[in-house]
Amino acid sequence: MAKLLDKQRYKCALGAMQTVQAIERALPVLHSGPGCAQKLSDTTGSSGYFSPNIFPCTSINEKDVVFGGAKKLHSTIENALKVVDADLYVVLTGCIPEIVGDDSGEVVSEFAEAEKPVIYAPTAGFKGNNYKGHEQVVDALIDQYLEKSDIKVKGLVNIWADVPYQDLFWLGNIRELEKLIEELGLTPNTIFGFHRGIKNINKIPTAEFNLLVSPWVGLGNMKKMERKLGIPYLHYKTLPIGATETSKFLREVGKFAGVPEEKVEAVIKEHEDYYYYLIERYADLFLENRVINKQFTVVADAQYTLGITKFLVNDLGLIPAKQFVADDTPKNYRESIIEEFKKLNYGIEAEVSFETDGYKIHEEIRNHDYHGYPLVLGGYYEKEVTESLKGNFLNISWPVLDKVVMDDFYVGYTGGIRLIEDMYTVAVSRFN
């Protein structure tokens, strides 16, 4: 029997066009029906060098369903190479060509000698959501473009985090991760955002190791690069927000990379001294129960639900109600993520629900006794239910509709301070 899903937090796999778009001067070439790009490009700040309104698209129709769309795909790629000035062309497939059996990979292989690289990722909506599509794009780079290198650049680290644009803070977060890695004396390499792109993609095989900062998205990519390119990886499951988790993160990265312990501790001390100076200045505000209730709920993807839960418990001493992971996390990753929610300070454990149905999430929030005003951090969908409970709401996950984010971030020591500022700005406004 068909199931109705209310307020889902993800898009179909073809939403991976935003992953491609986050690579500077990379162009998505869509083999799909007309209108897919427009429907999937509802995230603010996604205009960029190539707007979704001008992505080359085969716009396949009923005739192509009967006779196949391979010829139309070939001509679309051919003309895109002539007309659009890009560094990388990534063919993404929608549902229709995959259902009728178009061999898009074979068509793309005909452009192996093209002046610019052309690769292909199967991103039909029925194969998964845009988190899966993101992994498919990275897999395409590994399988069709990158080659193993005998040269390894000392201290070079490839950094991978969560899904661009799905996470509105993706650009600022990854830039802050770069800065933290640089402070350890390492050289970060990322492929998303300003002045990265194809030149940084070309550096990937020469890195000493990959650093994945994500509960699960991208883990398959890391394993594939280890097998094919010989690049070991460090998987750090929690997005480091605030002093407690960021210090753990730096120690683990430093140990894996062989950075002297005294250097790591010096970096940590400098950041922690300033971080706790700022916390102390507002200690009276944080201790005032009527400003923010001690219980909170996060509704987001695994990255933010886990990262923010650890931050609010370990740094601010708040108590978790049930937490909701709404990204349709694959079942084989769930147990390890549940274990992370048990690794909180003071012996606290957080109950977590992997739930994609917004209606059920909201019913549980309504029926929980928060013993005061609830604090809810989630998608814009949670605003109404939080207001009905006279709670404090902060929009931190997709969909983000009440703010514009250019390069803001919640990662690291500074990111933790920014999250505190955002939370308490919402809270104190209730009383003024």
Give the pLDDT confidence score for residue 62 in this predicted structure: 72
Give the pLDDT confidence score for residue 5 in this predicted structure: 75
- Distance (Å, whole) CA 377 – CA 397: 8
- The owner of tokens 């709404």 is 326
Please confirm whether the linkage preceding 399 is cis (ω < 30° from 0): yes
Give the pLDDT confidence score for residue 66 in this predicted structure: 60
User: Do residues 246 and 412 make contact, with C-beta atoms less than 8 angstroms apart?
Assistant: yes
- Distance (Å, whole) CA 337 – CA 306: 8
- Distance (Å, whole) CA 207 – CA 149: 9
Query: What class, spelled out in words, does domain 276-431 have in CATH?
Result: alpha beta
For residues 85-117, one letter each, b for 16 or more C-beta atoms within 10 angstroms of the residue's C-beta and e for the rest, the string is ebebbbbbbbbbbbeeebebbebbeebeeeebb
User: Do residues 24 and 194 make contact, with C-beta atoms less than 8 angstroms apart?
Assistant: yes
* Best CA proximity match to 355, nearest among 308, 301, 393, 297: 301
Give the pLDDT confidence score for residue 170 in this predicted structure: 95
* Best CA proximity match to 27, nearest among 147, 143, 117, 151: 117
Domain boundaries, the chain: 13-144, 276-431
Q: H or E element: which one contains 352?
A: strand 352-354
Report H helices in 84-218.
95-100, 104-109, 130-144, 170-183, 197-201
Instruction: Give the DSSP letter string of 4-46.
Output: ---S-S--BGGGGHHHHHTBTTEEEEEES-TTHHHHH--STT-
Give the pLDDT confidence score for residue 1 in this predicted structure: 46
- Distance (Å, whole) CA 278 – CA 274: 6
* Token pair of 425 as six digits: 């700005």
pLDDT averaged per 10 residues, the chain (length 432): 74 92 95 81 69 84 70 94 95 86 89 95 90 97 96 97 92 98 98 95 98 98 98 98 98 98 98 97 80 89 98 95 97 97 94 96 95 92 94 93 92 98 88 66
Q: Could you say which DSSP state residue 168 is in?
A: T
Give the pLDDT confidence score for residue 285 in this predicted structure: 83
The gap from C-alpha 320 to its chain's centroid, in whole angstroms, comes to: 23
User: Do residues 303 and 214 make contact, with C-beta atoms less than 8 angstroms apart?
Assistant: yes
Helical axes 412-428 vs 170-183, angle rounded to 10°: 140
Query: What class, spelled out in words, does domain 13-144 have in CATH?
Result: alpha beta
Report H helices in 346-403.
358-367, 382-388
Same fold, 13-144 and 276-431: yes
- The owner of tokens 């590994």 is 142
User: Do residues 431 and 333 make contact, with C-beta atoms less than 8 angstroms apart?
Assistant: no
